[in-house]
Every structure is written in C-alpha cells, then in structure tokens.
Amino acid sequence: MNDVQPKATIVIFGATGDLAKRKLFPSIYKLYQKGKLAEQFAVVGVARRPHTDESFRHYVKETIEEATKQELIDEKFISHFYYHSLDATNTQSYEQLNELLTRVEEQFHIPGNRIFYLAMAPEFFGTITSHLKSEGLTATNGWTRLVIEKPFGHDLQSAQRLNEEIRQSFSEEQIFRIDHYLGKEMVQNIEVIRFANAIFEPLWNNRFIANIQITSSETLGVEDRGRYYDHSGALRDMVQNHMLQMVALLAMEPPIKLTTDDIRSEKVKVLRALRPMTHDDVETYFVRGQYGRGIVRGQQVVGYREEHSVDPNSNTETFVAGKLMIDNFRWAGVPFYIRTGKRMTEKSTKIVVQFKDVPMNLYYRTSEHVHPNLLVIHIQPDEGITLHLNAKKSGESMKTTPIKLDYCNNCIDGINTPEAYEKLLYDCMRGDATNFTHWDEVAASWSFVDPISEVWANTKAVDFPNYEAGSMGPKKADELLQKDGFHWWPLNGTM
C-alpha cells in the first residue's frame, strides 16, 4: 500500500466511452506527469469499436489534449496504451485479451498486477467479472482489483443481485466501488476538520448544532445522458451515493484508527441509523422537482421533458430536497437537510453547519438578533472553510455585526472532478480502499432510498415541471425548512 509508484496494468472496459474520455485518461496522464506512475505501467482499452493500438493512442492523445487544454507532447506516455476490441458478452475474446495483457506485462516488466476498471453500463458487470475469472485473467502472479462505477444497482434488490454476481469472481477486498465525491479534496477534509480540531468536536452534536444543510447544485441539464437519467433520477443519481456519503462523514463517530475498516464501519452505523421513511413520511420529509424551461447563466434552455432521449411525459425528478433524521444519541433531533438538482442557479456543493443560538441576546437594545454561528465547508467550485461569527460593529456602542473567518483551499475556481478520479485511481493502485464504498454502505443507502423511490414511482407528480431552469428548485423545498423555523443559507456567501 505504500508503493508510491505502483506497477500495474489498468484495463479499461468502456475505453471509447464518455467517462474514459473525460475523466479516466486525463487522470492517468496527470498521475504520470506528477511522477506517480512507474515506468512499469500500461493501459489497455477495451470496447467493441475497432481500433489499432495506433489509432487508439491517437484517440487518447486527442481526448487528453481536449480535457487538459494542453498539447500532449509526451509520446513515451502514450506508448504505454494498447487496445483490444471485444464484445464483453463474448467469452472467446477474453482469451486474446489475456494474451495481450501477458505480452504487455512482459514488455513493461509489470508483475501481473491488474486493475479491471468497468466504465460500462452495470448490466455488463456480472458477465465481465465472470468471464475475467473463467478465462483466467484474474489468475496472475500479482494482485487483481476491480473498479466499479455507479450506479451500483437500481434498488436494494438489484444491487444485492449484482453484488452476489460480482462476488462469485472477486472478494470484497478486491472490489473498489467508486463514489467520486469521496475523492474530492474538501470531502476528504470533513474528517480532518472534525477530528483534528479541539474546538469543533465537543460542539459536534445535538446540544450545539441546530441543523446541517448539504447542497449540491448543478447548472447542467442531463446533456446526452437522457436515456440513463430518465430511468434513474436525482434520488438514485446523487442522493443514494454522493449525498448520503457526505451525511455519513459529517455524522459518524470518531473512528478508533484511520484505517479503511474503522472508517467504513463508523460510516455504515450512520447510514443504518437514518430514520427509515415510511410511505406516509415521504411527502413530509422529501420534495421532488423537475425543471421546466428557463435561463441558465444567460442562456435560454429547454425543459427536462424536451431533452434528448427523455420521455416527453417523464415523471423523473431532476431535483430532490429532503430532511433526514439520524436516530442516535449524538444526532437525535437535529435535521440534516439535503438538496441537489440539475439546471439550478449555480454549480456549487456546500455544507453549512448551523449552530444553536446563544441562550439570550444581551445586545437586544442595539441588535435585534444575533446571527447564528455557521461553519461552511465549500466543496466546489471554491474549496475552503468559512466560520461565521459575531463581533462588535466598529465605532458603535455594543452593536453586533456578522464577520467571517475564511480559509481558501483553492482560490482558483475549477471543478475538481478529474482531480477526484486521479486521487481515487491512485488509491486503488496502492490498494487503499478507504475512499471507496463498502457493500454494507451501498446496501444501507439503498434501504433508505428505496421507500422514497417506490412512492415516487407510484404517484405521478402532477405539478411537474415545478421549477424553472436557473432557479434554486421548487418552493416546497424552502417550505421544508420553514416548517422547522429554518431556511436554506445562500450559496454565494452573503449570509
């Protein structure tokens, strides 16, 4: 695990697809540029489309140049790429793939370490893993690991089936289920902020925290993923994985040690402590939305139902807001509000921890109210932490004024998804599964989400579309907090 330059072949199934192009190839290149890949590495792309090694290298080079906006001059890097055309459902071609891998390993002196990265639709996962085992691709002198993209199933039952299929060929220790939010710098920072600061941990409970708000808003629509998204929706696409993972990191108990198992086991306890939604609860605790036409960043955009490959009468939600309760000693009574959606006002992921008010306002003669203290964790596009406090308004006798203590982790705006993939790929190569999701977390997340999706699948949302593209979602999402005497804190920092 401490090998700083891991030696391995990365076999990418789905190498001609969108994920490989936009995220995986640029991440591998950045690892190489940073000296994190040894000379003993290779990448073997796999998909049905015909390619020679040469034409594949040309394609990879172009995609990296496009993604990084740099001219890729390093021909040596690109010479580590190979291609094998294969229909994933056809057993025979796996034998040839194995021959290619063995040849490549000999050429670059790679000691049989193989990462099989499945950047393909999940219906192929079972078939591919079973062929990898039956055709001997996992029987090497080194280690073999499997990286799996989301969505991991469509609900608990399908996820269980998928897991059982995969587990026929790979053990839990070999499986790396990607949740790219866990690779984001400031998501990884949540633990450090909590557990390395004496000032926060004593306050991190229901005695001092009034509520926690997590927003992940996007300006993009569904782009060319309408076919996938219309069967998924925001609940499965964002809440079941990224949003619940952030809740788990914010709410978990301090792990005994910073080991993968200790952290995962604390996270899973939180997910299991989420108050289950009965079908009757769904309307009270959750709000769904779908965007109509509107203006996003000055551009007129179409409504969701007009998007490519989307059913014109679609009942699929592109926005979710919810109130989650964690039934344990630490969090009893503290709402965790989550909100995520497409075609919203801005691209932003932020966590706001709102502390309880001071017991009384001593400054009532001069200041009608004292602002609550907030700890804001900026995940993206800006990365940092802001602590909102009150101070004396200068020149005025005992009048309070809100002030901010700001730390900027990365002041240059830039969406850090590729960086997240870069980190996670490197972690996988080094065998560190801490920032990947264990099956128990996946299962607990589906158990929480399933009753909500069942209710939504069985009741038509008569008010869809119920938010304008370019807005912060439907009114009901605001009312969810107003009922509790709270409101969403603005994302732009003007609090």
Ligand X SMILES: O=C1O[C@H](COP(=O)(O)O)[C@@H](O)[C@H](O)[C@H]1O
Ligand Y SMILES: NC(=O)C1=CN([C@@H]2O[C@H](COP(=O)(O)OP(=O)(O)OC[C@H]3O[C@@H](n4cnc5c(N)ncnc54)[C@H](OP(=O)(O)O)[C@@H]3O)[C@@H](O)[C@H]2O)C=CC1
Distances (CA, A) of 219 to 74, 229, 350, 477: 35, 16, 15, 18
Annotated binding residue 420: no
Looking at residues 70 to 99 of the shown chain, list those that interact with ligand Y (rule: CB under 6 A): 86-89
Does position 429 interact with ligand Y (CB under 6 A)? The reply is: no
By beta carbon distance, the residue nearest ligand Y is 17
Q: Which residues bind ligand X (CB under 6 A)?
A: 218, 237, 349, 415, 417
Q: Closest CB to ligand Y among 119 and 268?
A: 119
Annotated binding residue 18: yes
| Shortest separation between residue 296's beta carbon and ligand X, angstroms | 14
3-state SS track over 337-385: EEEEECCECCCEEEEEEEECCCCCCCCCCCCCCCCCCEEEEEEECCEEE
Q: Closest CB to ligand X among 237 and 450?
A: 237
- Read off the tokens for 410: 């990365």
- Amino acid identity for residue 115 in this structure: I
Q: Closest CB to ligand Y among 122 and 402?
A: 122
| Shortest separation between residue 172's beta carbon and ligand Y, angstroms | 20
The option from ligand X, ligand Y, none interacting with 88 (CB < 5 to 8 A, set by class) reads: ligand Y
Q: State how far the Cα of 236 lies from the Cα of 232, in Å rounded to an integer.
A: 6
- Amino acid identity for residue 182 in this structure: L
Catalytic residue among 80, 131, 242, 438: 242
* Nearest in space to 420 (alpha carbons), one of 409, 406, 435: 435
The option from ligand X, ligand Y, none interacting with 263 (CB < 5 to 8 A, set by class) reads: none
**In the set 3, 18, 283, 484, which binds ligand Y (CB under 6 A)?**
18
| Shortest separation between residue 420's beta carbon and ligand X, angstroms | 7
Annotated binding residue 342: yes
Does position 121 interact with ligand Y (CB under 6 A)? The reply is: yes
Q: Closest CB to ligand Y among 121 and 332?
A: 121
Strands 348-355 and 374-380: antiparallel
Q: Closest CB to ligand X among 218 and 441?
A: 218
**In the set 149, 230, 419, 422, which binds ligand Y (CB under 6 A)?**
149
Q: State how far the Cα of 487 lies from the Cα of 257, in Å rounded to an integer.
A: 36
Q: Which stretch binds ligand Y (CB under 6 A): 144-152, 160-168, 279-287, 348-356?
A: 144-152
The option from ligand Y, ligand X, none interacting with 455 (CB < 5 to 8 A, set by class) reads: none
Q: Closest CB to ligand Y among 88 and 334?
A: 88
Cβ-contact 262, 255 below 8 angstroms? yes
Chain length of the chain? 495
Does residue 369 carry a catalytic annotation? Answer: no
Beta pairing partners, 190: none
| Shortest separation between residue 224's beta carbon and ligand Y, angstroms | 8
| Shortest separation between residue 430's beta carbon and ligand Y, angstroms | 22
Q: Closest CB to ligand Y among 119 and 326?
A: 119
Annotated binding residue 14: yes
Distances (CA, A) of 344 to 85, 166, 462, 476, 495: 40, 37, 21, 15, 19
Burial class (CB in 10 A: 0-12, 13-18, 19+), 154: middle
The option from ligand X, ligand Y, none interacting with 415 (CB < 5 to 8 A, set by class) reads: ligand X
Cβ-contact 117, 13 below 8 angstroms? yes
The option from ligand Y, ligand X, none interacting with 218 (CB < 5 to 8 A, set by class) reads: ligand X
| Shortest separation between residue 347's beta carbon and ligand X, angstroms | 7
8-state DSSP, 63 = H
Count Cα atoms within 13 angstroms, Cβ side, for 207. Answer: 6
Beta pairing partners, 83: 45
Does position 483 interact with ligand Y (CB under 6 A)? The reply is: no
The contacts of residue 121 (CB under 8 Å, 6+ apart) are: 228
The option from ligand Y, ligand X, none interacting with 381 (CB < 5 to 8 A, set by class) reads: none
The option from ligand X, ligand Y, none interacting with 17 (CB < 5 to 8 A, set by class) reads: ligand Y
Q: State how far the Cα of 210 lies from the Cα of 360, in Å rounded to an integer.
A: 15
DSSP 249-286: HHHPPPPSSSSHHHHHHHHHHHHHHBPPPPTTTHHHHE
Q: State how far the Cα of 130 lies from the Cα of 178, in Å rounded to an integer.
A: 20
Annotated binding residue 8: no
Which residue positions form the known binding site for NADP(+)? Answer: 14-21, 48, 150
Which residue positions form the known binding site for substrate? Answer: 180, 184, 218, 237, 342, 347
User: Which are the catalytic amino acids?
Assistant: 242
- Interaction site with ligand Y (CB under 6 A): 14-19, 47-49, 86-89, 119-122, 149-151, 228
Which residue positions form the known binding site? Answer: 14-21, 48, 150, 180, 184, 218, 237, 342, 347
